[in-house]
């Protein structure tokens, strides 16, 4: 697996404030990582650092062979970083199809493939962004990120606030995305037990520092580790 992303001793935060300390990990092409931790531990900040929305204070951040520190935030999506923020940020007054088409970039993912992955979006293609349910908005945000044909997809709490049936539907879609390869995925979640089976690697943050880095399978089978860092509620 050739290397796609490498962080070395990254320290990052907002303005002068430091949220993340000494974060190091690497991700190969097509690899997958569960980014876990309780509320406020720095998960979103790590994704924001990759996207250039948080400030990298020190350390090295390489993506696809390039030093990301010198790539401006607005150029990072076109370098191959696809971000699905927690807020979803879809365009409310565009239709589903327009939301998808407006960002289309040549590559494997096109309207047909996105509709095949998310049949609900095809059914709703003429609806406006603001006419969708929360689950459909999440699907649209994911579909839109795929239309950019990213090398790395960043999903920030995609299951949050959604009904159990939609959660199951999204979990099977995420499983396909991580298993079908090609694209690497970093998945931020509170619900460790649901997503650890979908990823190869896991990283647990505790107050901005990594307290576990390794196989998802090892973490999944270690109830003590799960309880101490994520609480019994790691479901
Ligand atoms: N824009 C910001 N400016 C200043 N501090 C921030 C900003 N966003 C987050 N923080 C702080 O950074 C810390 C980490 O927050 P972050 O959102 O990365 O955590 P998280 O693990 O993603 O939690 P959650 O699950 O609640 O989203 C918190 O103390 C938070 O208050």
Question: How many H-runs (helices) and E-runs (strands) does the chain carry?
Answer: 10, 10
pTM over 0.90? The answer is: yes
Instruction: Tell me which residues have their CB closer than 6 angstroms to ligand 1.
Output: 14, 17, 19, 37, 39-45
Residue 181 confidence (pLDDT): 67
Do 204 and 210 contact (CB within 8 A), yes or no?
yes
**Cα 198–chain centre separation:** 13
CA of 208 to the centre of ligand 1 (A): 10
CA of 44 to the centre of ligand 1 (A): 6
CA distance 85 to 137: 12
CA of 86 to the centre of ligand 1 (A): 12
Q: CA angle, 171 as apex, 170 and 172 as ends, to 5°? A: 90
- From 19, 36, 205, 207, give the residue whose CB has the most ligand 1 atoms within 8 Å, as the site to mutate: 19
Mean pLDDT for the stretch of residues 164-188: 92
pLDDT at residue 233 is higher than 70: no
Task: Kindly report, residue by residue over 52-86, the tens digit of the pLDDT.
Answer: 999 999 999 999 999 999 999 999 999 999 999 98
Q: What's the complex ipTM?
A: 0.94
CA of 143 to the centre of ligand 1 (A): 26
Q: Which CATH class is domain 27-51+75-230?
A: alpha beta
Residue 202 confidence (pLDDT): 96
* Mean pLDDT score of the chain: 93
- Domain locations in the chain as residue ranges: 27-51+75-230
Residue whose CA is at the smallest distance from ligand 1 atom 30: 40
Atom of ligand 1 nearest to the CA of 48: 18
Residue whose CA is at the smallest distance from ligand 1 atom 2: 14
Q: Which residues of 184-217 are buried (b: 16+ CB within 10 A; e: fewer)?
A: bbbbbbbbbebbbebbbbbbbbbebebebeeebe
């Amino acid at each position: 697996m050739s290397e796609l992303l490498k962080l070395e001793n990254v320290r990052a935060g907002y303005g002068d404030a430091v949220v993340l300390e000494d974060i190091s990990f690497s991700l190969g092409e097509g690899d997958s990582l569960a980014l876990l931790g309780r509320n406020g531990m720095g998960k979103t900040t790590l994704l924001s650092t990759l996207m250039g929305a948080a400030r990298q204070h020190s350390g090295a951040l390489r993506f696809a062979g390039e030093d990301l520190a010198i790539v401006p935030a607005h150029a990072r999506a076109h370098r191959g970083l696809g971000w699905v923020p927690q807020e979803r940020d879809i365009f409310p007054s565009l239709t589903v199809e327009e939301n998808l088409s407006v960002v289309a970039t040549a590559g494997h993912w096109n309207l047909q493939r996105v509709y095949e992955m998310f049949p609900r979006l095809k059914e709703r293609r003429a609806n406006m962004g603001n006419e969708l349910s929360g689950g459909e908005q999440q699907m649209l945000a994911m579909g839109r990120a795929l239309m950019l044909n990213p090398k790395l997809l960043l999903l920030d709490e995609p299951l949050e606030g959604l009904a159990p049936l939609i959660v199951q539907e999204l979990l099977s879609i995420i499983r396909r995305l991580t298993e079908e390869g090609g694209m690497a995925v970093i998945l931020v979640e509170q619900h460790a037990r649901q997503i650890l089976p979908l990823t190869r690697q896991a990283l647990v943050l505790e107050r901005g520092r990594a307290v576990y880095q390794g196989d998802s399978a090892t973490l999944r089978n270690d109830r003590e580790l799960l309880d101490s860092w994520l609480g019994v509620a790691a479901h």
